[in-house]
Amino acid sequence: GESVGLHLPTLSVQEGDNSIINCAYSNSASDYFIWYKQESGKGPQFIIDIRSNMDKRQGQRVTVLLNKTVKHLSLQIAATQPGDSAVYFCAGSRYGNQFYFGTGTSLTVIP
Amino acid sequence: ETGVTQSPTHLIKTRGQQVTLRCSSQSGHNTVSWYQQALGQGPQFIFQYYREEENGRGNFPPRFSGLQFPNYSSELNVNALELDDSALYLCASSQPGTPEWFGPGTRLLVL
């Protein structure tokens, strides 16, 4: 079956620094990945996605890197702000349905 | 904020009872997925509906069932509730192969 795992359960960074959150997946057939942000008491919020035909995708202050050889993806947040404090999940799927989520990394931004 | 709404926001039931949770999908989305999120864990895929038909199911027993209506809204039904069913239940809507947009969730407590 599919499994997705995050490398660190917690991460603390200074405001203004860059954050890197890592994720590994088990199913080499996974072809679509999404990073979500979840704040306390809310549903997951879409951040950025990437398909398996890409290695890198950039958004506003965020970059996702995909390494299919080692089945690893990362989320980089530039100039981390207090509003970035949340739990971050990576989710993988095949054909864009039945997403499998990791356990999440809790990011704390220190002012 | 996404256009996905869920009701109720909170619910308390006792063991053995039945519960129905509701979800209205974002306008233009014909696919609805349901997830269970236990405290401190990532969302776990329950099942997905596409154009009123079940389109995939995760590792959940048959007492978890669902429906999707012609307007693409959806229900999740859980029979014979168990204590371990206490969780946040998330609904997400999408077009196939595109990011899933999550609602705020229904928090279910089984006593």
The model's pLDDT over A10-42, given as tens digits with 9 standing for 90+, comes to 999 999 999 999 999 988 888 999 999 999 989
Interchain contact, B104 vs A43, CB within 8 Å: yes
Please give the share of chain B, as a percent, with pLDDT higher than 90.
90
Per the prediction, chain B carries an average pLDDT of 95
**Residue A1, pLDDT above cutoff 60:** no
Single-letter amino acid code for the residue at B101: W
Say if B28 is an interface residue toward chain A (CB within 8 Å): no
Residue A76's alpha-carbon distances to A19, A47, A61, A100, B74, in angstroms, are 6, 11, 8, 21, 35
pLDDT band at B105, cuts 50/70/90? very high
DSSP chain B: --S-EEE-SEEEE-TT--EEEEEEPPTT--EEEEEEE-TTS--EEEEEEETTEEEEE-S--TTEEEEE-TTS-EEEEE-S--GGG-EEEEEEEE-TTS--EE---EEEEE-
Interchain contact, A97 vs B96, CB within 8 Å: yes
CA distance B70 to B45: 22
Average of per-residue pLDDT across B25-43: 94
- Among the partner-chain residues A44, A97, A98, the one whose CB lies closest to the CB of B102 is A44
Reference B32, options B77, B89, B73; nearest CA is: B73
Scanning every residue of chain B, which has its alpha carbon at the shortest distance from the alpha carbon of A89? B42
Strands A10-14 and A105-110: parallel
Say if B70 is an interface residue toward chain A (CB within 8 Å): no
The model's pLDDT over B47-60, given as tens digits with 9 standing for 90+, comes to 999 999 999 999 99
Average of per-residue pLDDT across B79-94: 97
